Structure 1
């Protein structure tokens, strides 16, 4: 009797799997690993290594393949050709952004990052136009960036050549540039409110990129009801919104509709102008979420890239020496990274640090269309010019003043991207800043 029950159970499982497999194949989607009921292709994702797992499947299934996050099919695009075709050649069809469950609980369609349709178009258009009016990505903002770059040099100099972790100091400097545009003024680095704001930013990325955050994106229905640190992501975002709301209330008391001082002023003026309309994207919630999106995106991404740049220069002192020489002559070099850069059709050594990817035979800068550090098409980062300017000024100012060394040997494994989640953060490291005599 027991053997009969087991046999029936096995036959039922085989039947269910066969039905599932047949249904899966009838969807006429790109190739990919066969999903299992309920969990999809979760077994093909290594814990804490979402991006590495996706890169491995690229080798196995090609540049366009299908995964299943639970019962939900996801088509993955890899490499320059596939990404360019989607984001640039067919930007209208691929301009929307799918919900990200781990963040959607907070955003609920507001802001500039996860919104879609008319709300996204209007929010993005207003945001880009307003930020540009306050110098975002223009020459007029350079003096603010240079001010923070000099502040970070002063902070580095306080180390007296002793090793230290540059993470916090870099974040403070990058965030202050953005705060000066959004709030109208910068924070002192010792300001407790400023420290709390940066803690929100750091915690958001750490939790979203964690194994818990990745599981929440893959199995949202299950993880919504499962206890764990991922439950704090929405809470942290709301606490950050409360911080912003306090600044908004303070600005209302001194607001002059004829003379906006910063991004929040401009949004509040527009909000007042459209308050009688039955539907408008200019409401308080959209202001708060959009501002939160800008601070998150404009702080962590640039500071992480700059930290990676310094880490790479510790590994390659010969390249650092060449950069010192170039800086002393005034030549601009922009080292930028992106997963698209792993395409062997576009880069001769996509898995190695190789500045020659962006230099011609004479050693001068050479444009490469495969460089997509800021995405492309309609979803290209509105802060691209600003970020490039920040990276160049901060990196150049630091190298003008210091030779960078480390008490520990930096290996190839140390500078290899971790690719664990939404942000490829470098390892924690310590550097010594030795004053240069120019």
Structure 2
């Protein structure tokens, strides 16, 4: 899976000019979104998350969501809630005693429910793409994975099954969005804290 993922991500732009162009286009959309607030205070979490998610989605699905699209907002909400809950003492306790905690209510149940919702969306997406798949015209990472399923080789059933596809896409989406958007928000925070450095870099 690791080899397939890295090679396919490179095929669809990772580390190349094509992904740079997508990032620049999405950055312009994000800047316009910031400007729409006309200098008034706003929470940048959702729009930055959506911008980063769109870069990942473009590789996975060849698609872009509007920042107010209910689908992307729901996915972002599920991921952000899980990230917040992962650090709670209750979840750490569950990780230590999973069999015991399975019988008790708590945040771990919310995490599992969110994961099921997220995986439900992913599986619905796979089903749709499978119907539209053209192995001679693979548009994105999911198409490439589905094409591998149809090759008829032993590894097609051993590795390229729907459970691995769900896990792969979920990991790329969740981990990629959270880490990158958090880094961007910290960068904005530091520029706000040290405006003289921001001004100095702007004038260069």
Pairwise TM-score range, normalised by the shorter structure = over 0.9
Q: 1:250 aligns with which of 110, 115, 128?
A: 128
Determine the structure 2 residue equivalent to 1:207.
85
Q: CA deviation at 1:226?
A: 2.3
More helix by share: 2
Determine the structure 2 residue equivalent to 1:293.
171
Determine the structure 2 residue equivalent to 1:130.
8
What CA RMSD, in Å, does the superposition of the two structures yield over aligned residues? 1.7
Residues 313 and 319, structure 1, Cα contact 8 Å, conserved in 2: yes
Q: CA deviation at 1:277?
A: 5.5
When the two structures are aligned, how many residues end up with a matched partner?
204
Determine the structure 1 residue equivalent to 2:74.
196
- Secondary structure of 2:65's aligned partner: coil
Q: Rate the CA distance shift 1:142–1:277 in 2: closer, same or farther, 3 A.
A: closer
Q: 1:178 aligns with which of 52, 56, 81?
A: 56
More strand by share: 1
1:217 maps onto 2:92 in alignment: no
How many angstroms apart in 2 are the aligned matches of 1:234 and 1:216? 12
Ranges in structure 1 where 5+ consecutive residues have no aligned partner:
1-122, 329-438
1:233 maps onto 2:107 in alignment: no
Q: CA deviation at 1:225?
A: 2.6
What TM-score do the two structures reach when normalised by structure 2?
0.93
- Secondary structure of 1:162's aligned partner: coil
Residues 274 and 280, structure 1, Cα contact 8 Å, conserved in 2: no
Residues 150 and 156, structure 2, Cα contact 8 Å, conserved in 1: no
Determine the structure 2 residue equivalent to 1:323.
201
Determine the structure 2 residue equivalent to 1:161.
39
